[in-house]
Chain A
Amino acid sequence: MELFINQVLAGIATGAIYACMALAVVMIYQAIDHLNFAQGEMAMFSTFIAWQLMQWGVPYWWAFLLTLAFSFAGGIAIERLLFKPLAKAPVLTNVAGFIALFAIVNSIAGLTWDFTIKQFPTPFGSSPFLGSQLISTHQAGMIGVTLGLLILLYLFFQFTRIGLAMRAAASLPESARLVGINTSWMIALGWGMASAIGAIAGILIAPVVFLEPNMMGGVLIYGFAAAVLGGLTSPLGAVVGGFLVGVFENIAGTYIPGVGNELKLPIALALIITVLVLKPAGLFGRPIVKRV
């Protein structure tokens, strides 16, 4: 029983990473109806910016805020320059665009900061949390930040004019335009916010997985799994999905014989396919009804 509780706790701790990433994935999906395959790389790049600022002697929280501002602006710039012209293009072209963006960002980061692993500081410290060996204060802080972010997003989307406008633009663009919402800029705003959330995720994850240009590869796949499990249309679902994937992965690794570490990744992927087949809308998502 103790083993079980420990595994669940450890799962929740890693789940927080996936939850952060899934939140960013869902944000962009809400805005543009596509999964951004370059999301992880954008987050990695933001994290490097934060690291560079700290190397130059900027205090942690200032670096954090500056990075968020930079990522927000960067997300909007990428949308305006590269993806706005592709808005009406087929899905195929868009996916190719994301792959191109992935290659560009990864390569530039590799050239600027090279591929050696870097330590990233944490503001929460890394001592054991409440006497538990499994969750450090950093991981507890990470869970706290993720939940805080979720509440902020909820408030933003439910109670602000601009949040309402963004939801309208995402669900019925034509009608939203008719009531005077600038849907094109709502999409740009979605990119900016997704990019900023990705930056937060990157900064929180970096102390755990260490900083290097390929740090996001695995995390992004788990992020996708979490987002799909929770439902691509629901931020709450993304966070719950993240924790569930973390716990599921740990428990499967411990109790199912023959799984171990080498099959952890295929398990997450099998989870994606199973959820897509059995309940395509995910646990919390709205099923999409199409009018023919």
Chain B
Amino acid sequence: MSSARTRRAVSGLSLGTSSVLTLAILYIPVVVLVIFSFNSARTGATWESFTFDWYKEIPRDRQLMRAITNSMWIALIATPVSTVFATMLALGLEGSRFRGKRATQQVLNLPIVAPEIITGVSLLAAFSLVLRIINDVLGRGNADAIRFGRPTILLAHIAFDTAFATLIVSASLRNLNPAISEASLDLGATRWQTFWKITLPAIRPGVLGGALMAFTLSIDNFVITFFVSGPGSTTLPIEIYERLSRTISPSINAVATLIFASSVIVLGGALMAQAIGSRSTVNSDGD
């Protein structure tokens, strides 16, 4: 029947068109940004010529480099710490029954469901209060008071990184046959040995995925970091945001492009690692 076939063709066509439209909406702004980051003109209205100048400016921009350093410092500490906490949490949750498990899981969901603005201001309030008490106790006045800075940012990041990473590690752990760790114990390994020799290698993709998520969340985070940072602890997103309120220098386009490129690369690396990882084994000599 041709009407049924035309109906199906039309619906297929509209589905495809609408999908292309959605993807276009998703990509056009960033793609345009990337292209214009190589534009030598100062405004985005016209295209002058292709140049790397804006990129070359980045290393010379001391403030920007400081922001990048801060972001990296925080991310490189928050990632391993939160991954360890997340793995421990996943091990302690999966397959264990205890009173108050549901309540605990609700609480652990807070960092994921709570709006960032709320988290930001509540941490601002909480850290202010705590720091005031600490400064009073230590007798530090205005000059040498402990202020907001990298440590406060770090704490906040570790908290939400752990919550998100736990999702990924837990998923990996859930896929694992629980009999496997039982078999290890049964054959003579302690819990600790079982974890290192059997559980961890088996959930390694999940742990790496969790670490990756933690790192990315840390590097990219704006709203929460905005509220818990202090002078001298500006991170990259905050630095970009603050420059946006002044005149837009085209080097921002270069920085933004680099951030975009790095997330694509990291994502690509993660996908490749996952593909490779699902085919690896260890023989009896390697351990």
A is bound by B: no
CB within 8 Å of B: which residues of A?
none
Point out residues on B near A: beta carbons under 8 Å. Answer: none
